[in-house]
Each structure stands twice: as structure tokens, then as C-alpha cells.
Structure 1
Amino acid sequence: MGRAFEYRRAAKEARWDKMSKVFPKLAKAITVAAKEGGTDPDMNPKLRAAIAAAKAQNMPKDNIDNALKRANGKDSADIKTIFYDGKAAHGTQIIVECATDNPTRTVANVKAIFNKNGGEILPSGSLSFMFSRKSVFEVSLPEQELEEIELELIDFGLDELEKNEESLFIYGDYTAFGTLSEGIEKLGLELKKGGLEYVPNTTIELNETQMNDVEKLLDKLEDDDDVQAVYTNIE
């Protein structure tokens, strides 16, 4: 009984720890999306995707509603999306997406994480030609044939489809976010998350030892409260 209790408690603490890190980031994404395009999800594809991502992580409805309310609050006006470029060992290129109400604090934290973990922050825009801004959606594996989905979504701006054991990934130009969102809804696909991401034009493959050299840096960046996403050129 004692071991079973300890296991359950450890599992619960792990879930709480994950929620304490993930939920604030999801809430901030909802607030930023609502500030940019309005608080009506029907009229704001980016907001619909942010809410879908929150629901996929079992974020409570109250948290989602509070994030939407903050979009109309005075404090939300200061939240800005900022990108930082950096590099790490073995040719690793990194773009860090942040949402912050205090850029001075955020850039200091990001710089410190790079410097303390074998990386280096670069001048803004240094990697703009190494990555492409894409609309990226993750949906649950559908019952429809992928060829059928591909043919349907081409008319909505589809560039590429990829899948793994759990999800189907839909890629398009960053300008096609709204139309691709409409196409996904039309096909009845279950949206897990969606957003504008930086996709590397050329990737690198790291072995286990090399990956260990850069993994700590990436983990520290992802753990920072202001960091919304970390994009790399790693395969």
C-alpha cells in the first residue's frame, strides 16, 4: 500500500508540475491571440487554435475564460511577442519565441540561459534566411484517406502533410493560416493545436552524444515562463 501510494503521489505531483508550466503558457497564447485578432473565436482562427491547444491539454474552462478576459484588461496591452535568435554546439540554430510584458527581463533571462548552457545569442534576424515562417496544425489521426485530405486541403493552401503514430501535421505558408483553419474545420478534423511556427529550411542530424550537448540548453529555454516556443534546425 505504501509503495502504491507513493507512486500515485509522485504521478500526481508530476502532472501538477507539468500543468504549472504548461497552463500559464497556454493562457498567455490565448490572451495574445485575442489581443491581435479579437476575442470572438469564430472570427479569429489563431484564437481558435490557441483554445484548441489548451483544451487538448485539459486546461479548465475557467482558465480559458480568464485568459480571454485578460485580453480586454489594462495589463494585457503590454504583452508583446518577441523573437530571439541563437546558436549552440554542433551547428544547432535556435529561434526562441517569447510573449512578455517586460522585454528587458526576458532578454536578460534568455541571454543568461544561452551563456550558461553552451550557447550564444545572435543579433535579431540573423537566422531569418535559415527558417521559413509556416502555418502548422496538428490534428488527431483521421479516418479519411490521407490522399483525400491532401486533395481537399490543397485548395485551402496546403503545402505538405506529415504523420506519426499519434498525429497528422498540416503545413502551409504563413499567409494561409486562416484558410487552412477553415479547411480543417470543413473536413471535421480534430485540431490539437495550430499556430505560426519557424520551420528550418535545412536540418541537421545529431547523434546521442551531440544531442546531450544541446538538450540542457533547449530544456532551460522551454522552462522559462516567458518562452512560448523553441524552434531548431535539428532533424
Structure 2
Amino acid sequence: MAGHSQFKNIMHRKGAQDARRAKQFAKVIREITVAARSGLPDPSSNPRLRAAISAAREVNMPKDTVERAIKKATGAGGGDDYVEIRYEGYGPAGVAVIVEALTDNRNRTASEVRAAFSKYGGSLGEMNSVSFMFNRMGVITYPASVAGEDDMLEAAIEAGADNVVSTDETHEITCEVESFFAVRDVLEPKFGEPLSAKLDWRPENSIELDEDKARTVLKLLDVLEDSDDVQNVYANFDLSEEVAEALSA
């Protein structure tokens, strides 16, 4: 179980689904706001906004909520101004952590992130202090049912992707960040809307954690994820099946 995304499966075993859903909506609305202001309010002419709307669908956000967010972002006054910030540091057991935030108050966000790292035995570092251990890439995921493995590989490579990993459940297409929107826009007419399409940080190497260290790392990541200002959290750890089962019990 790789730590860059699957840790959420363990974190989300705890209840409070309604509260999490509200937080998910708030984070997506922030991304829609920034995306709508970064270009035209028309998704067909604004790739980032199109990606934000796709993220809204992933969390089952109602269409009228999305439309209101776009209208508010591009209307008079435009609501809050958000800036994008990336924090990097080391968590317990030397796990490298990247935190992406959208905030209207840099001091508040920095204080919250620094406090979380300190509380769980980590330390916040400088920009690029850990990101060199990750690869930044576009990741597009389709259900396996949309195409055979060979057909998907051929279509993805022709679209400009670097690789496809197919399983019984999904096709995961990866590409350079610069090619992300172009690859997605070529694949969508052929295979429909993907399950997800996003920019991701993937670790080059991962640290395997025992149960005690994993619990502490997951607590840190959970606290970071719970911040209203934090959009995404990535970390370079692995969990064995035994440890994952113990944490999920």
C-alpha cells in the first residue's frame, strides 16, 4: 500500500462522513474559484477549470453548486482571494511530506502546517527540501471496462502519454505535467469522462513503516488533510498488507 494516496482509505474508515463531505466541497470550491479567475469562466476554454469541475463530480457536488461557485468567482468583488502555496518537510520516521494549499491568509496556514509537523515529531523544511524525491506528473484513470489493455495503451501513447498501468479494475495513464490537459482532451472523446484526472506527486522511493510509526504518520496526514486551507497531501511511505489490515481493524 503506497503512501502517496492510499492512506486516505485508512483515514476515511473513521466516521464523520458528512463533515468530510463538507470539507471536500469547500476544497473543491476553492480550486474552482482559483481556476475560474486564472482564465475564462468557460470550461471548454479553461483546462484548469475543466479539471476542477471534474474533481467536483468525483465528490458528487451538485451542478448548481459548481455553477454558483464559478459565478461568484467571476462576478463583481469575486469573493476571497486565494494564493497557492506548497509546504515541504519530514514527518515521523523520516517520511517526506508535500502539502499543497490554497489560502487567503499565509500566516494562518503556515502556522497550522508547522504546528501539525511539530506535534507529531516532524519538521517543516524549505521549498524543494523533499520534492526532489518525488516525480510530478499527470494521472488520468479510467475504468477497465472502457477498453482493452492494448487499445488503451495505443490510444494513450498516441495522445502523448508516457505509460499506462492496467489492472482488472482500472487503466492508469501517466504523462508529463505539460502534456496533461492535451492527453486528457484526446482521450475523453474516445473513452468518455475519466474516473479522475489530476496532477500528482509520486515518490521515487518509499519508506516501509511498522504499525506504530504508521499510526503516527497517518495522524499527521489526517490533521493536515483536515485543514480547510490544505488541498492535497503526499507522502513517500509504504504499508505492508499486515500493517494496513491492523490499522483498518
Give SS of 1:78's match: coil
What residue is the counterpart of 1:103 in the other structure? Answer: 106
Task: Note the alpha carbon deviations across 1:16-63, whole angstroms, 9 max, x for none.
Answer: 222211110111111222222321111222222221221122111121
Residues 89-98 or 125-134, more deviating: 125-134
Quote the offset at 1:179 in angstroms: 1.1
Given the two structures, how large is their TM-score scaled by the length of structure 1? Answer: 0.86
Query: Contact between 1:50 and 1:193, CA under 8 Å: does it hold in 2?
Result: no
Distance 1:166 1:70 in 2: 38
Quote the offset at 1:100 in angstroms: 0.8
Query: Contact between 2:142 and 2:171, CA under 8 Å: does it hold in 1?
Result: yes
What residue is the counterpart of 2:65 in the other structure? Answer: 63
Query: Contact between 2:156 and 2:164, CA under 8 Å: does it hold in 1?
Result: no
Which of 145, 148, 168 is equivalent to 2:148?
A: 145
Quote the offset at 1:138 in angstroms: 2.7
Identity %: 38
Distance 2:61 2:151 in 1: 32
Which of 78, 89, 92 is equivalent to 2:92?
A: 89
Task: Note the alpha carbon deviations across 1:174-226, whole angstroms, 9 max, x for none.
Answer: 10112111122132243233222222122222233321121100000011100
CA change 1:117–1:139 in 2 (3 A) is same
Query: Contact between 1:45 and 1:177, CA under 8 Å: does it hold in 2?
Result: no
Give SS of 2:146's match: coil
1:197 equivalent in alignment to 2:200:
yes
Q: Which runs of 5+ in 2 are unaligned?
A: 1-14, 239-249
What residue is the counterpart of 1:228 in the other structure? Answer: 231
Query: Contact between 2:152 and 2:171, CA under 8 Å: does it hold in 1?
Result: no
What residue is the counterpart of 1:184 in the other structure? Answer: 187
Which of 19, 34, 41 is equivalent to 1:17?
A: 19
Give the alignment's Cα RMSD to 1 decimal.
2.0
Distance 2:167 2:37 in 1: 33
Quote the offset at 1:166 in angstroms: 4.7
Query: Contact between 1:140 and 1:190, CA under 8 Å: does it hold in 2?
Result: no
Distance 2:149 2:79 in 1: 41
Q: Which runs of 5+ in 1 are unaligned?
A: 1-12
Distance 1:170 1:70 in 2: 34
Distance 1:115 1:75 in 2: 35
Q: What letter is aligned with 1:199?
A: R
Give SS of 2:70's match: helix
